[in-house]
Copies of this chain bind each other. A is one copy, B any other.
C-alpha cells in the first residue's frame, strides 16, 4: 500500500509480469497458476506465492490481450438502431441479453448510429465478435454477412422480414401482425379499416410492414385500408378523433395496444361508440389493455423467447456448419375481447 511513493494516482495497471516479479517466478508460471492449467503441475507453495502476489497487486487480467492471443472472443454483438419499438420487443431484447450472459458470452450493444449496411458490418467486424445477432434494425446484405464471417464470426443471425444469404435467418414478418388484425376485423364485418401509423420515428420499422400486411389482407376481400398518422399523446389522439366521422371508418387497427388504448379513449370521449360505431384492435396483448372498458381486442404475438434464441446462438457458435433449423419465430393470434 505505502511502499513506493507517489503511487496513488498514477500507479500503472499491474500486469502478469509484475505478479511474476513479485512472486519470484516467470510469467508463464503466473499464467499457469491463475488459469489452473491442468496440463502442467505447479507445486502448492508456488501456487500460493503467485496467488498472494496477484492479490497484493490487485492484478486483473487483460481481456483484450487474452483474446488477441487466443484468436477469438466470447463477444456477441447486438446492433441496435432504435430507441424503442414496443414493450414486447424490449422484453425480448432484455431476455436475450440475460440468456447470453448465462451462457458466458459478453454482450456488446452496438448502436449503429447512421451507419448503413456494409459500413455497419465493417464497424462490427472490428470487434471480432464470435456472433452477431441482428434484430433487423440495420439491413445486412450477404456481403456484410460474409465480411463478418471472414473476420471470425461463427454465427451471424438475423431476425427480420426476409432471409439474408449466408446468415442464419429467422424470418419474422411484421406483416403477419397487420394481416392478422385486418383479417380479424374483416371477419367481424368491417369494410373500412384505419391503420394507425405512429409518428415516432423508431417505430416505422415495424409500422410500415404491418400496414402492408393489413393492406394485403384487405385487398383480398375488397375492404378499404386507410393509414392514419398518430403521435403518442392525447392532443394528437383528440385531433384524430375530432375528424373521425369524416373518415367513414368502421374499424381501426392501432399499431399496438398502447396506441390503441390512447385512440380508443379519444374516440369514446368524442362520443364514438366502441365497438358499435368503430371497432378497435391493438397488438401485443398487454395486460393494461384488459383494464379499459370495453376490453381491448388485440393481436397476441408469441415471440421466440430470448432464452431460445440464445441457445441457438450458442449452438451455431459451437457448430457453425450445422444448418439453421426452422424455427417458429412468431405466432400471431387475434384475441377477441370487447372492443371489436
Given contacts A11-B150, A126-B62, contact A109 B107 (CB under 8 A): yes
B contact residues around A113 at 8 Å (CB): 98, 101-102
Chain A 77-111 near chain B by CB (<8 Å), digits 1 or 0: 00010011001001100110110111000111111
| CB of A61 within 8 Å of the partner chain | yes
CA distance A291 to B127 in the complex (A): 46
B contact residues around A147 at 8 Å (CB): 58, 60
A294-339 at interface with B (beta carbon < 8 Å): none
| CB of A40 within 8 Å of the partner chain | no
CA distance A236 to B202 in the complex (A): 34
Smallest CB separation, A106 vs chain B (Å): 7
| CB of A239 within 8 Å of the partner chain | no
Chain A 256-299 near chain B by CB (<8 Å), digits 1 or 0: 00100110010000000000000000000001101110000000
CA distance A94 to B90 in the complex (A): 10
| CB of A64 within 8 Å of the partner chain | yes
Smallest CB separation, A84 vs chain B (Å): 6
Smallest CB separation, A311 vs chain B (Å): 16
| CB of A68 within 8 Å of the partner chain | yes
CA distance A152 to B10 in the complex (A): 10
| CB of A28 within 8 Å of the partner chain | no
| CB of A52 within 8 Å of the partner chain | no
A63→B126 contact, CB < 8 A: yes
| CB of A128 within 8 Å of the partner chain | yes
B94→A101 contact, CB < 8 A: no
| CB of A229 within 8 Å of the partner chain | no
B291→A126 contact, CB < 8 A: no
| CB of A151 within 8 Å of the partner chain | yes
Given contacts A60-B122, A106-B110, A128-B63, contact A90 B84 (CB under 8 A): yes
Q: Which of B14, B110, B151, B234 contacts A13 (CB 8 A)?
A: B151
B contact residues around A60 at 8 Å (CB): 122, 125-126, 147, 151
Chain A 226-242 near chain B by CB (<8 Å), digits 1 or 0: 00000011100000000
Given contacts A61-B126, A147-B60, contact A287 B234 (CB under 8 A): yes
A110→B107 contact, CB < 8 A: yes
Smallest CB separation, A179 vs chain B (Å): 26
Given contacts A60-B147, A287-B262, A291-B261, contact A91 B84 (CB under 8 A): yes
B87→A83 contact, CB < 8 A: no
Smallest CB separation, A296 vs chain B (Å): 11
B contact residues around A262 at 8 Å (CB): 287-288, 291
The closest CB in chain B to the CB of A11 belongs to B150
Smallest CB separation, A144 vs chain B (Å): 11
Could you pull out 8 A-B pairs where Cβ atoms are within 8 angstroms?
A61-B126, A64-B73, A68-B68, A87-B87, A90-B90, A97-B111, A101-B111, A262-B291
A residues in contact (CB < 8 Å) with B: 11, 13-14, 58, 60-65, 67-68, 73, 80, 83-84, 87, 90-91, 94-95, 97-98, 100-102, 106-111, 113, 122, 125-128, 146-147, 150-152, 232-234, 258, 261-262, 265, 287-288, 290-292
* Nearest 5 interchain pairs by C-beta: A101-B111, A64-B64, A265-B291, A63-B126, A60-B125
